[in-house]
Amino acid sequence: MERLGHLHPLMIHFPIGLLLVASFLNIYAHFANKDFDQVIHISLWLGFLFSLLACVSGWFLSNYTEQASNPLFWHQWSGIMTCLLSGIALRFQKWRLYFSFILIGSVCLTGHLGSVLTYGDNYFSLAQKKVVALLAPIQAKSLVLPREPQPVSSRSLAPPIVVPPRIDAPNPSLLQEFQARQISLVAHGDHGLSANFVMVKNDFSVVFRDFQKLAPWVTQLKLANQKNIDFSLMSQFTHVEDLDLSKTNLANADLIYIRTLNNLQRLNLHGTKVSDEGLASLMALKHLKKVYVWQSSLSPQALEKWKQANPGLVIENGNFSFAKPDTSKPLTR
């Protein structure tokens, strides 16, 4: 299911192109008095088929990635509506012209919501100068960076290093530097950055170490599939709220650096070596709201203990079912 879900980015391009071509060609044919019925019919057929495959693969993908529930809800059902509209336009040729206008809007809306899920609310502003302008100042907080672990002395303990608060936006040249090194950076929320290392293939260790310059502004960090992470650097990301460590080299011993992230709300441990031995460190994350643990080594007994210690925590363990909309609640964006 996970592998089928990762076909979603490939599948979506076919219905987008085919359905838009069919719709615009149908509108043009009507007003220009041309006959493109055969091309339109074939395009609608293929567009309907691939939109159906995109819906199925998108549902699988939603079960294996962490996404905000509200944008995901709208993207899910706008995609399903697009698929249904293409089927209706295919079946009722008499009304195809009117459905072509609706279909164009539906395809654009679904694509927009998909982009919001992938790149964030401000994905239109990927230009470097606009990214910086969108970042509100970070709240004035002292960033406490621990020293390297030292033996406990009977005389004294080394105090933590206190870095002065950073309340300004990051230097645009820093953003340009790390984007040039294949790190995807977009504005996240009202006051932070989303950093995705999915494209960083070579020299990851060096790139991640240098990236600490932007650590005070990062609120979403995606390190999925990286196998050479120095987790001692994680303690510098004091503002991170969403952390993806799926299929990384994370082990129980590394959790001492994760437990210091007091703002962490979402954590992805999918496919890591974290086991019951690391439960104490995980339970120290008091503000955690959602965690993904499938294909980890955490036992059901440990997850139940964790749930009892934090009743508000949502634990995703891989047992998914299709979520129907709650009709008792008003639909709001």
> What are the two backbone dihedrals, phi and then psi, of residue 195, each rounded to the nearest 5 degrees?
-120, 125
Identify any residues that bridge with 184 across adjacent strands, giving them in sequence order.
Answer: 196
Candidates 65, 69, 88; CA nearest to 77 is 69
Helix ranges restricted to H, 259-333: 279-283, 300-309
Determine contact, residues 333/72, Cβ cutoff 8 Å: no
**H/E element, 218:** strand 218-222
Distances (CA, A) of 27 to 22, 88, 98, 266: 9, 16, 9, 46
Dist. CA 209–CA 181, nearest whole Å: 13
125-147+160-316 belongs to CATH 3.40.50.300: no
pLDDT for 239 equals: 92
Tokens encoding 22: 């069919």
* Per-residue tens of pLDDT for the chain, all 333 residues: 767 777 888 888 899 999 999 999 989 988 888 888 889 889 999 999 999 999 988 888 877 666 666 778 888 899 999 999 999 988 888 888 888 899 999 999 898 888 777 766 655 554 444 444 444 443 333 333 444 444 444 444 444 433 334 446 777 888 888 888 888 888 776 678 889 998 888 889 999 999 999 999 999 999 988 999 999 999 899 999 999 999 899 999 999 999 999 999 999 998 899 999 999 999 999 899 999 998 888 999 999 999 999 989 999 876 655 445 454 555 444
